[in-house]
Structure 1
Amino acid sequence: MGHLRDMFNFDRRRARHRVSVERRRLLPSYIADEPQSTDSSKEIAKIALRLKYQIEQVVCCEVEENILTDPNSRLITQDVIETAKRAGGEDYKACIVYCLLVCLRWFQVQASVELWDADLHEVRAVACEVIAKRIIESEQDQDYLLKNILLKRYSIFAEGVESDPVNVIERSVDLHALRIIGSAGYQKCIQFLWCGWICQEEGNPTNFVEYEQKANASYWVHFHPDRMRTPLYQNICQIVFSLVYLAVYTAVINTVNPTGDIDVAEGVLYGMTLAFLCDEIVKFWKVGWNYLEFWNAFNSTLYGLLVISLVLRIVALAHSPSNSDTERQMYNGLSYNFLAFAGPMFWMRMMLYLDSFKFFGAMFVVLRVMMKESLIFFALLFVVLAGFFQAFIGMAQVDDDIPVTRLIIQGMANTIMQSPEFDTFQDFAYPFGIILYYVFSFVIMIVLLNILIALYNSAYEDISGNANDEYMAIFAQKTMQFVRAPDENVFIPPFNLIEILLVSAPFEWWMSKKHYAKLNDIIMGVIYSPILVLTAWIETHQAEQIRWNRRHGEEDEEDQQEWELVAEDVDFELDDSWKQEVKQSTPDIKVDNCTLEVKQLRVQVEALTELVKQLSSEKEVVVDGLS
């Protein structure tokens, strides 16, 4: 019993640890959250519990996922949606979608802890997404949807601790809730954030407000450095600076200096590398391990190679510049070798900034999932390689103690690349070496590589079948990474060196907050002026379009298409004849053919029943008359 009690306590501790880990945000959050009363957090937690109870009653057993996601689902009915809306009453009705996301996380954690009911909990998590999506899409008041449901931050009170305030937009990205992210209202909010029509309030970045000047057609109103907080403009700047970075690297690698001196192009290259490296270090320091992802590790590796190249170049410069100094030439050559070795990574780095385009974004999702699936393969590969390598090394020591470590490593590496070298192991502790190598080749080339292919195929099928939703998710994540910016003053690398060396270090520690903000606006206005010239022109034309839409009673974001222009002379509300014909011939999509036929049969049975009753009554009258 004691052993069982210990196991139970361990499972509870593990579950509590998992909940605490899940509570942390997966995306970086750099801003101080707006304080929320503990009573509100407790009430929101109760609402989440009510919704969890409702979903457990609605989905009381394992069902197919398509039964829940069907628009005419017999489980997620309109009555279920209305009941969920009433879970918070009038005072807390705006937090229902947030509470559904809380329930979604709870069910996911429960599925990982209670493996015997994992399928049931995963289906309930799907139900949370479906209900939240239908609530978002049924909301008619756009301002209420954006400001109160999607962008307002909420928190819950659990285990004596109040969770960090977070809104539905952020939480959906954190939990990778594709159905919620793919809803129309959610995507409209993301587009408004992306183009800067909704931005963080000045002085209170936890609150999102509408950009008041979006309908102002004055050019100089939009020529303001604060507009560089817009994710669209930051993304454009990053792409431009990455192209410049790539061009500078191309110029450096194609103009080798035999003397080893650092020219202007190399100085610019290493300076930009320092700026990017500082930006990565600051973000990692503020966010922690949650910031570490594939692309961060990729960029850090690239910057590490460039730092090694710079260090070797400095070591080479420390030696005599004479032609007879072989050490200077050796270090100089090593420096260029490391620089050239990073060439493929420079070009691959461009993919990081192209994921805002749909073609590249969907492809990157597939690649990212494939890389995660590869971890299983490499874990198995490492164990197999370690075992066989130890066996081959042992045979080498027994067989005349020949130092063939390099040959063994090369032969095993070639086998992984599907180019086996049987000659190397032919006379290797015969016959044990060649037999073991045959076994190794079979395990690697037949078993493990086919497992890798199967994992890649599975990942591709899972993502390609849902490519649009996956792209919208990665676009939302990219948008939120810009919105959750670490500073109110946006200095995009390599401009962050200006902030560090010329602004923060000499002025921030003694200057008042008001004057320091004014200084930042002046400096950003100068360095971003070429970009602001273009962005102000774009926003001026957008303001004219918005004003035209408002005059015609359209939404601000409305962009008329060709069929809408043609339809200006046609009003189907007045054309009753065509409207009636269409109504009569349009099938009821909510009813399948079988149900429709049953309904028709029911009508016929009822008519036949009435006819029989009528005939029976007439017969009784005739009989009474004869009698």
Structure 2
Amino acid sequence: MTCANDVEPLLPIASVNSNKQNSLNIPNSRQILRISINLKKLIDTLIPNIYESDGCVEINKEIITMCYEACGGDKSSEQSLLKYQSSVIFCLLTVKKWYLQLAKDELHMYSLYMARAVLAENLAIRIIAQEEMKSTKNLTHLFVDILLKKFVINENDEDLVPTNALELCCDLHCTGIISTSAIQRLQTYLWRGWIIQSEDGVFYLKESNILDTRFINHFTSERLKTPKYQNLFNLFVSLIFISIYTFVVNDGKLKIGLNPIGILETIFYGATLGFVLDEIVKFYNIGMPYMRFWNIFNDFMYLVILFAMSVRILSLHKNDKDLDILSYRILALIAPMMWSRLLFFLDSVKFIGNMLVIIKQMLKESILFFVLLIVIIIGFVQAFLAMDSSDGTSDQTLPILENLLVGILGDTNFSIFENFAYPYTSLLYYLYRFILSLLLINILIAIFSTSYSNIVENSNAEFLALNLEKTLRFIRMPDDTVYIPPLNLIELLLQPVSFYIRKVYKKDSAKKLKKFHNFLLQILFAPALFIIAINECKDAKRAFYNKMKGKPLDANEVDTPFLLDDGFVDSSNNDFSNSIFDMNSLQESINATNVKNRKTKELQKEAEMEDPKFLCNSETWFKKLKQLKEKV
């Protein structure tokens, strides 16, 4: 029997200490710039103007070859070609970014630049598909070298932040590329932690024990880096966070008199500080690409909680009951945001994910409406206040402001404007209502309708883009020790211990620190790691079986009716002890799967041969099918 642990990894593990060797395999920033310029010239040649080409270019083998040749390299050396050609997707996306910026800056050439941007993305799609077909069984080059290797480009004599093609694709919202099978398979591998980020934050590596069926090798704190498990833990923490919030806000006993801050209230405020600390660290390391809709939503909620906490502490310091009541009322305001926050961790469900994308897009595009609304309101406010002060007194200021703001929601009160400067104020208010009700509201409805229809038409691609964005959010900032918030406060409190270890061990301090934190994380997350290890041992059997059959690691997860040799039978499904301790359960599962597939084929063949005239599986039909394929 072949041992699962002796199987060659699908994606090789690179040494963390091989930075010098790795740097030789990556083009420098100026070389990346030259490749991007070459590709831009190629696209400019293919679409010289929008009138002759109509923006449509048929991508053939010659154009794909030109894209590879634009990357340079020694044609007699395969290693040299791979070094430069691995940047082709990154450079095509960089060119698309340039075209999008040009389309904004030069509106008279908008159609031309957008057509070229679309061509750049289509070229990337075709090259990704071609690379996937080259290496169906081993996707190392496509995943690690082309899509996940980080490149630096020099723009305006400055080197930009290292970025890989996958991150750039997500930032540019290239739904066409994101929807390809290769990107989706890569996203699945990243989501499950099958490919992880190295300690230097530059390369992504294959997890060494995917095919290992031993329980102890999966019971490790390293698995906490997996986006899938981080998301589940965050959902679990959010449910506890909401439960504590509900008790703090809705328990009337806490609001009778000036009570000191209790245990649950301390946990609630402490957890909030942990979330805030995590947001600050990630924003500092990732930058603006980290600031997405949900991050802004959560950050605003955390700020409100911190403000309420400050008022609460101030009320105890000053012994002020009014401030104490105010703190609880401020806290109560964020109840809708607290419950809406759960959707952030459930957006992997297609319906919820699509609705969140629609809401985000509607809010983004409604900015135009609110800008127009604010400008118009300011103009009318000035007019009404001027009429109110024309007689030397300003006694209608608050009613005017209140009525104009309430009018946005549809409520009106014309009697207020009959008390001063009549009939000028009444005519002005009629004009205000006309502009608001018939013009601006209809503009807002049209914007929402357009956003909804655009998202629904492209709902699958938008959902896949949302999943990729969520996956990258967990892995964009590499961390040796993953203290998932709010447990990151423990890491902060352990800084004196870390300082002591660095001082005592010096050269070996990094290894000692990592060992210490991993041991502590294994204790803190022991129940979760136990469940993770059991599930991954089962997944390792299927992955090992797929490796034997020459299939992708994530194959055979669904037993489809039209493939007679797919699916996987786990012999230990009904035996808990076998799934962990029995080393022979892997061979038993493989044998059971082979027996099932063989029996299925025998039954199918026997049923087909009941009528000798059936013969729909004849060689003649398949020969014709092959000829038809060649013609197509």
Q: Which residue in the other structure is 2:588 paired with?
A: none
Q: Which segment is superposed worse, 298-307 or 99-108?
A: 298-307
Q: Which residue in the other structure is 1:389 paired with?
A: 381
Q: Which residue in the other structure is 1:49 paired with?
A: 37
Q: Which segment is superposed worse, 449-458 or 42-51?
A: 42-51
Residue 233 of structure 1 deviates from its aligned partner by 0.8
Note if contact 1:194-1:479 (Cα within 8 Å) is conserved in structure 2. yes
Q: Matched residues in 1 for 2:527 and 2:51: separation? A: 58
Residue 167 of structure 1 deviates from its aligned partner by 1.4
Q: Which residue in the other structure is 1:122 paired with?
A: 114
Q: Which residue in the other structure is 2:621 paired with?
A: 578
When residues 284 and 548 of structure 1 are mapped into structure 2, their CA distance, relative to the original with a 3 A threshold, is closer
Q: Which residue in the other structure is 1:166 paired with?
A: 163
Q: Which residue in the other structure is 1:231 paired with?
A: 227
Q: Matched residues in 2 for 1:145 and 1:391: separation? A: 64
Q: Matched residues in 2 for 1:181 and 1:314: separation? A: 48
Q: Matched residues in 2 for 1:65 and 1:195: separation? A: 44
Note if contact 2:348-2:467 (Cα within 8 Å) is conserved in structure 1. yes
Q: Matched residues in 2 for 1:205 and 1:189: separation? A: 18
Q: Matched residues in 2 for 1:43 and 1:341: separation? A: 54
Q: Which residue in the other structure is 1:12 paired with?
A: none
Q: Which residue in the other structure is 2:187 paired with?
A: 190
Q: Where does 1:203-602 land on structure 2 (aligned, <5 Å)?
A: 203-256=199-252, 257=254, 258-261=256-259, 262-318=261-317, 328-399=320-391, 401-485=393-477, 487-501=479-493, 503-508=494-499, 511=502, 512-559=509-556, 560-566=558-564, 569=601, 575-580=618-623, 582=625
Residue 433 of structure 1 deviates from its aligned partner by 0.9
Q: Matched residues in 1 for 2:169 and 2:532: separation? A: 30
* Residue type of the alignment partner of 2:39: L
Highest Rg: 1 or 2? 1
When residues 552 and 295 of structure 1 are mapped into structure 2, their CA distance, relative to the original with a 3 A threshold, is closer
Q: TM-score, normalised by structure 1?
A: 0.81
Q: Matched residues in 1 for 2:91 and 2:44: separation? A: 15
Q: Which segment is superposed worse, 262-271 or 372-381?
A: 262-271
Stretches of structure 2 that go unaligned for 5 or more consecutive residues are 1-18, 76-80, 503-508, 566-596, 606-614
Q: Which residue in the other structure is 2:611 paired with?
A: none
Q: Which segment is superposed worse, 55-64 or 385-394?
A: 55-64
Note if contact 2:366-2:447 (Cα within 8 Å) is conserved in structure 1. yes
* Residue type of the alignment partner of 2:94: V
Q: Matched residues in 2 for 1:282 and 1:209: separation? A: 24
Q: Matched residues in 1 for 2:53 and 2:522: separation? A: 53
Residue 526 of structure 1 deviates from its aligned partner by 1.3
* Residue type of the alignment partner of 1:508: F
SS in 2 for 1:452: helix
SS in 1 for 2:472: helix
SS in 1 for 2:203: strand
Q: Which residue in the other structure is 1:24 paired with?
A: none
* Residue type of the alignment partner of 1:80: I
* Residue type of the alignment partner of 2:236: V
When residues 300 and 209 of structure 1 are mapped into structure 2, their CA distance, relative to the original with a 3 A threshold, is closer
Residue 170 of structure 1 deviates from its aligned partner by 1.1
Q: Where does 1:41-120 land on structure 2 (aligned, <5 Å)?
A: 41-62=29-50, 68=56, 75-89=58-72, 90=75, 91=81, 92-120=84-112
* Residue type of the alignment partner of 1:468: N
Q: Matched residues in 1 for 2:531 and 2:26: separation? A: 46
Q: TM-score, normalised by structure 2?
A: 0.80
Q: Matched residues in 1 for 2:24 and 2:377: separation? A: 55
Note if contact 2:215-2:533 (Cα within 8 Å) is conserved in structure 1. yes
Q: Which segment is superposed worse, 74-83 or 335-344?
A: 74-83
Note if contact 1:302-1:342 (Cα within 8 Å) is conserved in structure 2. yes
* Residue type of the alignment partner of 1:401: T
Q: Which segment is superposed worse, 442-451 or 163-172?
A: 163-172
Stretches of structure 1 that go unaligned for 5 or more consecutive residues are 1-31, 69-73, 321-327, 591-627
Q: Matched residues in 2 for 1:466 and 1:39: separation? A: 36
Q: Matched residues in 2 for 1:315 and 1:288: separation? A: 34
When residues 103 and 284 of structure 1 are mapped into structure 2, their CA distance, relative to the original with a 3 A threshold, is closer
Note if contact 2:147-2:164 (Cα within 8 Å) is conserved in structure 1. yes
SS in 1 for 2:555: coil
When residues 491 and 212 of structure 1 are mapped into structure 2, their CA distance, relative to the original with a 3 A threshold, is same
Q: Which segment is superposed worse, 481-490 or 398-407?
A: 398-407
Residue 207 of structure 1 deviates from its aligned partner by 1.4
Q: Which residue in the other structure is 2:594 paired with?
A: none
Q: Which segment is superposed worse, 188-197 or 505-514?
A: 505-514
Q: Which residue in the other structure is 2:591 paired with?
A: none
SS in 2 for 1:164: coil
Note if contact 2:171-2:289 (Cα within 8 Å) is conserved in structure 1. no
When residues 36 and 380 of structure 1 are mapped into structure 2, their CA distance, relative to the original with a 3 A threshold, is farther
Residue 351 of structure 1 deviates from its aligned partner by 2.0
Q: Matched residues in 1 for 2:459 and 2:190: separation? A: 22
Q: Which segment is superposed worse, 563-572 or 268-277?
A: 563-572
Q: Matched residues in 2 for 1:509 and 1:101: separation? A: 46
Q: Matched residues in 2 for 1:63 and 1:213: separation? A: 56
Residue 37 of structure 1 deviates from its aligned partner by 8.6
Q: Matched residues in 2 for 1:522 and 1:100: separation? A: 44
Q: Matched residues in 1 for 2:51 and 2:527: separation? A: 58
SS in 2 for 1:428: coil
Q: Which residue in the other structure is 1:147 paired with?
A: 144
Q: Deviations over 1:499-518 (max 9, x none)?
A: 111x2244236522221111
Residue 135 of structure 1 deviates from its aligned partner by 0.8
Q: Matched residues in 2 for 1:543 and 1:586: separation? A: 37
* Residue type of the alignment partner of 1:374: S
Q: Which residue in the other structure is 1:10 paired with?
A: none
Q: Deviations over 1:176-225 (max 9, x none)?
A: 11111111111111111110111123x43311111110010011100000
SS in 1 for 2:201: strand
* Residue type of the alignment partner of 1:575: S
Note if contact 1:63-1:123 (Cα within 8 Å) is conserved in structure 2. no
* Residue type of the alignment partner of 1:51: L
When residues 291 and 214 of structure 1 are mapped into structure 2, their CA distance, relative to the original with a 3 A threshold, is closer
Residue 290 of structure 1 deviates from its aligned partner by 4.9
Q: Where does 1:126-137 land on structure 2 (aligned, <5 Å)?
A: 126-137=118-129
Q: Which segment is superposed worse, 288-297 or 150-159?
A: 288-297
When residues 516 and 247 of structure 1 are mapped into structure 2, their CA distance, relative to the original with a 3 A threshold, is same
Note if contact 2:47-2:53 (Cα within 8 Å) is conserved in structure 1. no
Aligned sequence identity (%): 32
Residue 284 of structure 1 deviates from its aligned partner by 3.3
When residues 573 and 227 of structure 1 are mapped into structure 2, their CA distance, relative to the original with a 3 A threshold, is farther
Q: Deviations over 1:291-312 (max 9, x none)?
A: 4443333222222222232223
Residue 110 of structure 1 deviates from its aligned partner by 2.0
Residue 265 of structure 1 deviates from its aligned partner by 2.1
Note if contact 1:275-1:496 (Cα within 8 Å) is conserved in structure 2. yes
